[in-house]
Chains A and B, each alone.
Chain A
Amino acid sequence: MSKKEATVADSPPSDPQTTTTNSSQWSTWNVTSSDWNILLVSTVIKLLLYPSYRSTDFEVHRNWLAITHSLPISKWYYDTTSEWTLDYPPFFAYFEWLLSIPAYLVDPKIVDLNNINYDSWSVIAYQRTTVIITELVLATALLRFVSGSADPSIQRVISAALFLHPGFLIVDHIHFQYNGFMFGILLWSILMARNGNRLASGILFAILLNFKHIYMYLAPAYFVYLLRAYCLTPSGRVEIKNFLSLANAVIGVFVASLGPFALMGQIPQLLSRLFPFTRGLNHAYWAPNFWALVTALDRIILRLVQLTGTTRISVDSAGVSSSSRGLVGDTVFAILPQVKPIHTFIITLLWQAIVLIKLWKNPSYKSFLTALTLSGWASFLFGWHVHEKAVLLILVPLSLLAAERHAYFRTFLIASTAGIFALFPLLFTPSESVIKVVYSTVWIAFVYGALNRRVYEYPTSPLYVVIDALEKLYLAGFPCLLAFTTGISLRNERISASSSESSGSAMEFLPLMVTSIYCAIGMLWSFLRLGFIYFLEESDYQGQLSAVG
């Protein structure tokens, strides 16, 4: 065999060099064959997950297909045939309506309103496929991030890491939601901001808000950024043309979304669906935020009070029963003062205000990205009834900052590990538990391997050395935490198999509580960490993104 043939045989088909000619037609997108390989491998993994566990969100979305397909638009936000009523903004309803048309062709029973809990093969394959296909919005945004970035090779790693993010795999492809699609819109919006097209960025964010209102967590940063960087000149004069075009465009988006319902006089009904203020401080499983720590503190003090039998501290009996109920119901504190929605609202806004003042002073792209992350982070940590899935609102923009400097990378590492681990309780079935752990571990290892040595910096002071060691210790705690929760769940299965009576709820709640608390510590610490970096950004933490306007 000739030498030339041998070298061809030596290079597997994934070799980017052999396919450079192929990629010329994609030059505008700069899709390399390794990009195709990532897309292929991730698609294969997602296809193999079709038969995996599905949460009730799967039925929720199926029901929305049925509502939008079989009912006139005037009844969308009134229908209560299923308990899973439509509670996303109108653009998402329109989106479901679009998806319901092919669904009807695939299997008319999918869009039958009364066909509750339909779970035939056709509906599973159809809905899972729509998640994979709509996620291409995310893929294209991430590809665009690579071309025109300050360091394409690093951005390629970050883009790949985001596309393969365990959060999306767990929440979208197993649990079932459309986050990949919507975070795709968010990333397109951020990309437009990076490329200097702030009007498009604002419009895209307005559109995103009308898909899912949870993105309001990020809205303050957008508001300040667009106002300061687009509607005002650097000297502070109003750019009247920019202001009007942005205002008109955003109003236009909201009219397109809410207009039909405003004409029908359904806005109050719509808002009551979108904002049900009847829920408790914590979600069933505590999201790893500040309130999880406060609730845990309350439980610990209560336990101490009960043990010592002191009467000097007044105990709220409702709180005692709340703590024993564990997983279900509202959180009522036994010792600490009760928290009302308004309190969480004020605390969140205060934290955001600190960040936004800084953003107002320095409305650069990097500053915007950091403020966006911190704004979502403050909402996540201090908001009312926060769901653990909202952690993606932090992790996605934070990932874009990951390779900026070592300080950013370390923050990203701690927040990603804690945030992803906090998503684990979403999947409690044994097989999916193995998948989530293995996939997330591989992902973290790859991201760490690809980025750490590029950004590594020695700690410069004794304090930093101590912090560095403590953080490593914290990260090393996650395998132990995993071993602990796995051990408890194995024990629970043994007990439930050997005895008919239900095992104590405490043992079921304990792993969740410990997970929540441990992850909350990491989330809170990395929030403070990024905040600290943000305020010293211009003096100490300049990186490649600082060059972007």
Chain B
Amino acid sequence: MFGDYEAQRHWLEITTHLPFREWYTYDLQYWGLDYPPLTAYVSWVCGLIAHSLNPAWVALDASRGIETPGSKLFMRLSVVVLDLLVYVPALVLFVKTWLGTRSHRTQEHALLVLLLQPGLLLVDHGHFQYNSVMLGFTLVALSLFTRGRDLGAAIAFVMSLGFKQMALYYAPAVGSYLLAKCLWLGWARGARLFIRLGATTVLAFTLLFAPFFLPPFAPSFAHVLHPITRIFPFGRGLFEDKVANFWCASNVVVKWTRLTIAAAGGDEEKARGWLVKLSTLLTAVGFTPSVIGLLRAGWVTMPSGSNSQKQEEQRDGEEEKTLPGFIALLPYALLTSSMSFFLFSFQVHEKTILVPLLPLTLLMAAAQPGSSLHCWGALGNNIAIFSMWPLLKRDGQGIACLATLLLWNMVVGYNPLKRTGEKKVVVKENVTKTSSLWSLPFVQLVSLAVYPAAIALVLLEMVVTPPRRYPDIIPVLNVLISTPVFVLIWLWSIKCGIEVGWALGGWSSGSHHKLPEKLPVEGSNSKGHEDGHGPSLD
């Protein structure tokens, strides 16, 4: 009957009262721990604090299902405090790093846009989860990459992975960025960085998992399999509930599970194996453009001649602080990669849309209202809430959705029909409405189609009870409205990645800047794509 809240609270209870070896094995039927060790350690600290305040909140077994006002407040405050400790500083660091050369006003505004992102607020503080910690560590990693501190960034990313396995959605982008950087640095220095990165990452993971295989705590080395099998459960279905991804949406037409079971001759295990392989393959295909884009950029922009000569003269240990121009590709690669996981991978939850939302919102945070970057960001965030609507409504967060959406859209200055730059021209020429509708950029046409559909569905749900033959008709329609938007964002991110990469390739002198003062996305301005003016961070 309980959900994420009780799961998280239960983990406080088991980590506080049990030795390490039992964390991933204790009574798994009752919300057994299935997040990586950092979540467990954080739960442990929270549990110790809770125990000192009121032992009843986390008493082993006896506290199951406890929802006293005090215990609820403690749990909710723990999310707020972790937000303040990890996510908010990470956002500040990001804004200072990526928008450091922009005006204070822009920086503050971007920070507000990111802080008030409705999806994260509703899921973390409404539904109850600790996503902001995982996202915060990834943000730290991104900022440290941008500051050229690759080893620190690698540790931060391991922390992110170690808090919640969902950070894996970013891994292809992060991994290929680092690989591209090793390429870019040239043979000797690249190899050195590669070895250092490898050693750091392995060490960080080892430390993180140490209590689960080192003798004093764990009975044997093989014990480490317990957390690992808990973290990656392939024993479940292709998708649970209704989630706005490729599998659930295409399931309307193609009954994947039934089809594969029939093809496997009734062997469900075998059929599931096929589906796992198929989904993994599709995911890989989905994120490949970002990987190739980064590696190609690393190869193409490799400095040569006098440039590298100069770098060779730099002292040892300095190399990791130099910054390649293709860092500008990283947010797009993160978006492509995570959206591809969301759309195509096995066992995705609707809340996981938060993972691709982070790079999307980062990209739009300082974009000019009306630019296509801004429009995609706002559309993605709004439709993400819509895609989680069945869940949020079940939580009783209807009004909260409305309130946070209202606030955020006002803060970002979103108007789906606003057109910058061309506005004056339209007024002057007095173009009729029908023709101006078709001259709208593609993203705004999509918005014009999607928003009315989404609003209509929400209103419809209030007044109509679904027919008995199709009890799930409303959630299915929701999936069918949301999925195309996410697919389009995925395609758009690939397109932007190609444009940025292409622009980078043109810079044969591409060397390191200290900071990406102007992210190369503006290179796309020159090419006439659907809206005539490119996505831009400036």
Q: How far is the CB of B246 from chain A (nearest CB, A)?
A: 34
CB distance from A114 to the nearest CB of B (A): 27
Please tell me if A152 contacts chain B, counting CB pairs below 8 Å.
no
Contact with A along B390-410 (1 / 0, CB 8 A): 000000100110111011001
Q: Which of A12, A40, A430, A498 contacts B413 (CB 8 A)?
A: A12
Q: Does A360 contact B (CB under 8 A)?
A: no
CA–CA, A479 and B51, complex, Å: 25
B96-107 CB mask vs A (1 if < 8 Å, else 0) is 000000110110
- Whether A51 sits at the interface, judged by CB under 8 Å, is yes
A490 within 8 A of B: yes
CA of A5 to CA of B69 in the docked complex: distance in angstroms?
51
> Is B105 in contact with A12, judged by CB distance below 8 angstroms?
yes
Within 482-508 of A, Cβ neighbours of B (below 8 Å) are at: 490, 493-494, 497-498
Contacts of A44 in B (CB 8 A): 403-404, 406-407
Question: Given A44-B404, A431-B73 in contact, is the A9-B538 Cβ separation under 8 Å?
Answer: yes
What's the Cα separation between A291 and B492 when bound, in Å?
A: 70
CA distance A37 to B410 in the complex (A): 9
**CB distance A431 to B400 under 8 Å?**
no
Asked if A47 and B368 sit within 8 Å, CB to CB, the answer is no
With beta carbons under 8 angstroms apart, the residue of B68, B399, B420 that contacts A125 is B399
Is A265 at the interface (CB under 8 A from chain B)? no
> B403-441 interface mask toward A, CB cutoff 8 Å, 1 = contact, 0 = none?
110110011110000001100000000000000000000
For the complex, what is the distance from the CA of A43 to the CA of B399, rounded to whole Å? 12
Overall SS of chain B's interface:
helix
B192 within 8 A of A: no
Residues of A within 8 A of B396 (CB): 51, 121
Decide yes or no: A10 and B70 within 8 Å by CB, A125-B399, A498-B56 being known contacts.
Answer: no
> 9 closest pairs, A vs B, by CB?
A13-B413, A47-B403, A430-B73, A12-B109, A497-B56, A9-B368, A1-B538, A44-B407, A44-B403
Q: Is the CB of A434 within 8 A of B413?
A: no
Q: Is B43's beta carbon under 8 Å from chain A?
A: no
Interface residue? A41 (CB, 8 A): yes
Contact assessment for B413 and A10 in the assembled complex, using a CB-CB cutoff below 8 Å: no
Contact A431 B399, beta carbon cutoff 8 Å: no
Question: Measured between C-beta atoms, what is the minimum distance from B83 to chain A in Å?
Answer: 14
Residue of B nearest to A47 (CB): B403
Cβ-neighbour of A1 out of B400, B411, B522 (below 8 A): B522
B349 at the interface (CB under 8 A from A): no
Task: Give residues 465-523 of A contacting B (CB, 8 Å).
Answer: 490, 493-494, 497-498
A50 within 8 A of B: yes
Asked if residues B406 and A434 are in contact (CB atoms below 8 Å), the reply is no
B263 at the A/B interface (Cβ < 8 Å)? Answer: no
Q: Does A56 contact B (CB under 8 A)?
A: no
Asked whether B410 lies within 8 Å of A1 as measured between CB atoms, the reply is no
| B75 CB to nearest chain A CB (Å) | 11
Check A431–B404 contact: CB distance below 8 A. no
Q: How far is A8 from B69 in the complex, measured between Cα atoms in Å? A: 47
A498–B402 CA distance with the chains assembled, in angstroms? 41
Q: Is A6 an interface residue (CB 8 A)?
A: yes
Q: Is B76 an interface residue (CB 8 A)?
A: yes
23 A-B pairs (CB sep. < 8 Å):
A5-B368, A8-B420, A9-B106, A10-B105, A12-B106, A12-B109, A12-B112, A13-B412, A14-B411, A43-B403, A44-B403, A44-B404, A48-B399, A48-B403, A48-B404, A125-B399, A434-B73, A434-B77, A490-B70, A493-B68, A494-B56, A498-B55, A498-B56
Chain A residues with CB under 8 Å of B112's CB are 12
**Which of B108, B367, B369, B403 meets A13, CB within 8 Å?**
B369
What is the CA–CA distance of A47 and B536 in the complex, to the nearest angstrom?
34
A514 to B395 alpha-carbon distance, docked (Å): 39
Residues of B61-117 whose CB lies within 8 A of A? 68-70, 72-73, 76-77, 102-103, 105-106, 108-109, 112
The distance from the CB of A503 to the nearest CB of chain B, in whole angstroms, is 14
Residue A324 CB within 8 A of the other chain: no
Residue numbers in B under 8 Å from A48 (CB-CB): 399-400, 403-404
Task: Provide the residues of chain B in CB contact with A430, threshold 8 Å.
Answer: 69-70, 72-73
With A13-B410, A13-B413, A490-B54 in contact, is A5–B73 under 8 Å at CB? no
A47-B399, A493-B54 known; A10 vs B106 contact (CB < 8 Å): yes
Q: When the two chains form their complex, are residues A493 and B410 in contact, meaning their CB atoms are under 8 A apart?
A: no
Please tell me which one of the listed residues B106, B109, B367, B410 contacts residue A40 in the complex, with CB atoms under 8 A apart: B410
Residue of B nearest to A498 (CB): B56
Chain A's closest residue to B57 (CB) is A497
Report the bound CA distance from A509 to B402 in whole Å: 40
Q: Whole-angstrom distance from the CB of B334 to the nearest CB of chain A? A: 23
CB distance from A358 to the nearest CB of B (A): 47
Q: How far is the CA of A493 from the CA of B54 in the complex (A)?
A: 8
Complex interface bits, B333-371 against A, C-beta within 8 A gives 1, otherwise 0: 000000000000000000000000000000000111100
Chain B residues with Cβ below 8 Å from A490 are 53-54, 70
Complex Cα distance, B102 from A519, in Å, reads: 47
In the complex, what's the smallest C-beta–C-beta distance from A400 to chain B, in angstroms? 29
Kindly list chain A residues whose C-beta atoms are within 8 Å of the C-beta of B413: 12-13
